[in-house]
Amino acid sequence: MSAADPVRWGVLATGGIAAKFIQDLSRVPEAQVVAVGSRSLDTAEAFAQTHGIARVHGSWSALAADPEVDIIYVATPHSHHHAAGRVCLAAGKPLLVEKAFTLDLAQAQDLVTMARERELFLMEAMWTRTLPAMLRLQQLLADGAIGRVTSVQAAFGLGPEFEPAHRLRNPALGGGALLDLGVYPVHFSHMLLGSPTHVQAWAQLHPEGTDARTGILLGYADGALATLYCGVGGEIRSATIVGTLGRVEFPHGFHNASSFLLHRNGSDPELIEADVAGLHYQAAEAGRCLRAGLTQSPLVPLESTLDVMRTLDAIRAQIGVVY
């Protein structure tokens, strides 16, 4: 792609996250949404009218075949990511796939293999890893601001309990706290510590068999630990990183952080501020990679996506959740 050409996005699905993505994408000057696709033409047309999208498709395959689309954002529930991703990759389209990437490691590996065989760009939409605050955090840690990281604590909880008919309780849709909420603290710990060597988990399950609340303990080869939580019935989105020379705290919203507190041993706390969070950073990163001819993002590499999904599979096996 020429640096002067806009990145032309197609959006697959018409839910709330798709609408939010389009809203935030307006902050990327070199990007534009040119098409939307849904399994329902009526739904796609209504969405297109609301968001001013010119090209409308009543199937995934029609969107994937659109020659005016450079890259597709897959915004379905994660139960459909694999099927939608296969349709798009088979048509030769680069992809940004909403998290959790797929339901399990086998599905994730299948999409990664397809993309690599076709030399197509593929990225999980783990937007947290593309935020300026997270890039600043990683630079500080690399510079030794808190020494060697010895533990990570991260929790993502939503306040309300959901009704039995809600998607978050439906195993057929990959419901439960783990894939919707737990993917954040697991990705966060992976970003900081890499892949764990030990996984321990316990959960309280909904009557439908999906997890309402899950506690996770991850152990690492260097002796570091991650203590993670995801669940409904209580609002929390905090994180702490402990090192040998200090700690970092995200008191509120580590997943969409625009600032954090740096505590160096023996010094007053420092407030580290960055640009406001949003979904546009992941879109800008995907566009940058397309222009550079990359098939994956160094900020959200495919091996990280596979490692996280491997950890999520191990957690599910221990808590007894089956999709």
Catalytic residues: 99
Output the 3-class SS for 60-72: HHHHHCCCCCCEE
The first and second tokens of residue 229, run together, are 């939580």
Q: What amino acid is encoded at 33 in this protein?
A: V
**Is the CB of residue 225 less than 8 Å from the CB of residue 151?**
yes
Calculate ∠ Cα 179-185-191, nearest 5°.
Answer: 115
The torsion region of residue 253 among left (phi > 0), alpha (psi -120 to 50) and beta comes to: left
The first and second tokens of residue 219, run together, are 């152990």
Q: How far is CA 78 from CA 146, 171, 289, in A?
A: 36, 11, 24
**Dihedral angle, C-alpha 39, 122, 189, 13, nearest 10 °:** -10
Compute the distance between CA of residue 260 and CA of residue 274 in angstroms, rounded to an integer: 9
